[in-house]
Amino acid sequence: MSFTTKVKNEIITTSFAETELLACLSGYLRNSIEIQKEQVFIYSENNALVQFLYHSLETRVEFPISITEKENRNFSKNPLKVISFPKNESFLEKIGYSKENCYLPVVPSYLVDGNAEIRAYLKGVFLAKGSCNDPKTSRYHMEILLEHAEEAIFVQKLLNLFDFNAKLLNREKGYMVYLKEAETISDFLKVMGVNQAVLYFENVRIYRNQKNYTNRLNNCEQANMDKVIETAMGQLKDMEIIRSHMGFDLLDEKTKEVFFYREKYKEASLKELAEIISFETGKKITKSGLNHRFRKIKELAEKLVSIEKKEEDRK
């Protein structure tokens, strides 16, 4: 079961006051019903959602409602459930779908005149057209894909009443209202009242944040280690040049000491090497002092190479 389905199944288990349920039905039906030859159809693969809609409608309307199945052409193994009932203008006007056979571009204000009703309307819209990525398997993303521009703008405004900073995009098949930030999506789920989904989302978010932090530390540590090895290899290369040119005796005694310890501890960082020399010789040397002596080694190596090149050029 997808995370979106889990969220939707939890939404329909939340309790609704009568005005809230009407707002929820409005949000769902305004964005999902199909009318053909004076008959209204609702399609869904989600059996729990179909049962919720059926029971919510049958106790509030006077016309017969039926549930059937039809072939699912969405390459899904789940059969497509179909709720159908006769077109009734009074009911369609009550849920804010149409008035005098004309589709209403924006839901009437009486359906969303309170905070609880706004939440309920958003629940209905999400049940109809919403999806939310599982935080464990993909990037953070929640979207609601709507057919009508006016409805998309209205839903965006409702979401932004909760400071979600919802964005709106014109897509090929409609208008997408979406949230991208993990914290914002978590707050959206809280507004939907889906506590189990919030708990799951937050647990995964904490785990991912910790994992990313650990990876950053490991990457930083690896980068530092690479830098230490690169520095040590450069120093060893300079030392090899000095030995091959018989230049060891040109160094002072303190620099010869550093020369000896670098050959002995090839992969030690400057800090580690300074601590080793200080401990084994009893003479304190700082990382800065050690670096100074390595500069002397590098300068001597460069000078020996330069002399050799001049001699070859003369030949």
Range of the domain at 15: 3-193
Residue where the block lists tokens 């819209």: 125
179 with 83, same domain: the answer is: yes
Last residue of a domain, one of 177, 193, 209: 193
27 with 68, same domain: the answer is: yes
pLDDT value at residue 77: 66
Last residue of a domain, one of 193, 213, 238: 193
pLDDT value at residue 98: 85
Confidence of residue 28 (pLDDT cuts 50, 70, 90): very high
32-87 pLDDT, tens digit per residue, is 888 888 888 888 888 899 999 998 888 777 788 888 887 766 666 678 888 888 88
Ranges 45-59, 93-107, 144-158, 199-213, most confident: 144-158
Cα–Cα distance, 165 to 163 (Å, whole number): 6
How many CB atoms are closer than 10 A to CB 230?
10
pLDDT value at residue 215: 75
Last residue of a domain, one of 172, 193, 214: 193
75 with 182, same domain: the answer is: yes
Confidence of residue 224 (pLDDT cuts 50, 70, 90): confident
**Is residue 62 a part of any domain in this protein?**
yes
Cα–Cα distance, 181 to 205 (Å, whole number): 11
275 with 133, same domain: the answer is: no
Among residues of the chain, what percentage have pLDDT more than 70? 97
At 73, phi and psi to the nearest 5? Answer: -95, 15
209 pLDDT exceeds 80?
no
pLDDT value at residue 75: 60
**Is residue 285 a part of any domain in this protein?**
yes
Domains contained in the chain, number: 2
20 pLDDT exceeds 80?
yes
188 with 65, same domain: the answer is: yes
156 with 28, same domain: the answer is: yes
CATH code of 128's domain: 3.10.28.10
Stretch 232-252: mean pLDDT, rounded? 84
46 with 166, same domain: the answer is: yes
Stretch 216-244: mean pLDDT, rounded? 82
Confidence of residue 10 (pLDDT cuts 50, 70, 90): very high
pLDDT value at residue 130: 92
290 with 185, same domain: the answer is: no
Stretch 278-294: mean pLDDT, rounded? 87
The two tokens of residue 235 are 């120093």
Task: List Cβ neighbours of 112 (8 Å cut-off, separation of 6 or more).
Answer: 23, 118, 121, 158
**Is residue 256 a part of any domain in this protein?**
yes
**Coil, helix or strand at residue 102:** strand
